[in-house]
Structure 1
Amino acid sequence: MELSLNNLGKGLYINGIWRAASDGKAFDVINPATEEVLATIADGSVEDGLDAVAAAHAAGPAWAATPPRQRSEILRRAFELMIANKEALARLITQESGKALSEARGEVVYAAEFLRWFSEEAVRILGDMSTSPSGDKHIMVIRQPIGVAVFVTPWNFPAAMATRKIGPALAAGCTVVLKPAKETPLTALAMASIFEQAGVPPGVVNILTTRRTAKAIEAMLNDLRVRKFSFTGSTEIGRVLLAQAAQTVVKCSMELGGNAPFIVFADADIEVAVAAAMVAKMRNGGESCTAANRFYVEKPVAEEFTRRFVDAMAKTRMGNGLDENMQLGSMVNASTRNKIAELVDDAVAHGARLCTGGKIPAGKGYFYPATVLADVANDAGILKEEVFGPVAPIATFESEAEVIALANDTEMGLVSFVCTRDLAKALRVAEKLDSGMVGINRGIVADPAAPFGGWKQSGVGREGAHDGLLEYLESKYIAVTW
Structure 2
Amino acid sequence: MTHKDEQELLDRVPEELFIDGRWRAAEDGETLDVHDPATGQVIRTIASASSGDAQSAMDAAADAFPDWSRTPARERGELLRRAFDLLTERAEEFALLMTLEMGKPLAESRGEVTYGGEFLRWFSEEAARVQGRYGAVPEGTGRMIVSQHPVGPCYLITPWNFPLAMATRKIAPALAAGCTVVIKPAQLTPLTTLHFVQLLEEAGLPRGVVNVVTSRSSSTVSAPILADPRLRKLSFTGSTEVGTTLLSQAAPGVLRTSMELGGNAPFLVFEDADLDEAVEGAIAAKFRNIGQACTAANRFIVHRSLAEEFARRVTERVTGFGMGRGTEEGVTIGPLIDQDAVDKAQRLVSDALERGAHLTTGGSSVDGEGTFFEATVLSDVREGSDLLREEIFGPVLAIVPFDTEEEAVALANGTEYGLVSYVYTQDLARGQRMIELLESGMLGLNVGVVSNAAAPFGGWKMSGLGREGGAEGLHEYLETKYTLTPNPF
* Distance of 2:28 and 2:316 partners within structure 1: 54
Q: Structure 2 residue aligned with 1:378, among 374, 383, 397?
A: 383
**C-alpha RMSD of the superposition:** 1.0
CA contact (8 A) 1:99 1:285 kept: yes
Unpaired stretches in structure 1, ≥5 consecutive residues = none
TM-score (norm 1): 0.99
Q: Structure 1 residue aligned with 2:148, among 133, 137, 143?
A: 143
Q: Structure 2 residue aligned with 1:319, among 310, 316, 324?
A: 324
Q: Does 1:343 align with 2:348?
A: yes
What is the one-letter code of the residue matched to 1:94? Answer: T
- Pairs aligned (count): 481
Q: Does 1:223 align with 2:212?
A: no
Q: Does 1:387 align with 2:392?
A: yes
CA contact (8 A) 1:53 1:220 kept: yes
* Distance of 2:182 and 2:9 partners within structure 1: 23
* Distance of 2:438 and 2:279 partners within structure 1: 21
* Distance of 2:428 and 2:126 partners within structure 1: 33
The aligned residue for residue 445 of structure 1 is 450
The aligned residue for residue 460 of structure 1 is 465
**Deviation string, structure 1 residues 268-303 (Cα, Å, up to 9, x no partner):** 111000000000001111000000000100011111
SS of 1:237 mapped into structure 2:
helix
The aligned residue for residue 406 of structure 1 is 411
Shift in Å, 1:192: 0.7
SS of 1:122 mapped into structure 2:
helix
* Distance of 1:134 and 1:211 partners within structure 2: 59
The aligned residue for residue 64 of structure 2 is 59
The aligned residue for residue 367 of structure 2 is 362
* Distance of 2:11 and 2:114 partners within structure 1: 23
The aligned residue for residue 115 of structure 1 is 120
Shift in Å, 1:4: 2.4
TM-score (norm 2): 0.97
What is the one-letter code of the residue matched to 1:284? Answer: N
**Deviation string, structure 1 residues 305-342 (Cα, Å, up to 9, x no partner):** 11001111111111000112101111111111111111
Q: Does 1:69 align with 2:68?
A: no
The aligned residue for residue 3 of structure 2 is none
Q: Structure 2 residue aligned with 1:32, among 9, 34, 37?
A: 37
Q: Does 1:240 align with 2:238?
A: no
Q: Does 1:272 align with 2:260?
A: no
* Distance of 1:108 and 1:415 partners within structure 2: 22
Q: Does 1:284 align with 2:289?
A: yes
Name whichever of 136-145 and 209-218 sits farther off. 209-218
Shift in Å, 1:423: 1.8
Q: Structure 2 residue aligned with 1:422, among 424, 427, 433?
A: 427
Shift in Å, 1:357: 0.5
Aligned identity (percent) is 52
Name whichever of 461-470 and 316-325 sits farther off. 316-325
* Distance of 2:299 and 2:22 partners within structure 1: 46
CA contact (8 A) 1:32 1:97 kept: yes
Name whichever of 374-383 and 296-305 sits farther off. 374-383
Q: Structure 1 residue aligned with 2:299, among 294, 299, 304?
A: 294
The 4+ residue runs of structure 1 with deviation greater than 2 A are none
SS of 1:106 mapped into structure 2:
helix
Q: Does 1:101 align with 2:106?
A: yes
**Deviation string, structure 1 residues 449-473 (Cα, Å, up to 9, x no partner):** 0000000010000000000000000
Q: Does 1:46 align with 2:47?
A: no
What is the one-letter code of the residue matched to 1:101? Answer: L
Shift in Å, 1:379: 2.7
What is the one-letter code of the residue matched to 1:12? Answer: L
* Distance of 1:197 and 1:324 partners within structure 2: 32
**Deviation string, structure 1 residues 350-405 (Cα, Å, up to 9, x no partner):** 11111100111111000111100111113321100000010011110000011101
**Deviation string, structure 1 residues 128-174 (Cα, Å, up to 9, x no partner):** 11111111110101111011000000000000000000000000000
* Distance of 1:14 and 1:110 partners within structure 2: 27
The aligned residue for residue 180 of structure 2 is 175
What is the one-letter code of the residue matched to 2:311? Answer: T
CA contact (8 A) 1:102 1:324 kept: no
The aligned residue for residue 20 of structure 1 is 25
CA contact (8 A) 2:351 2:385 kept: no
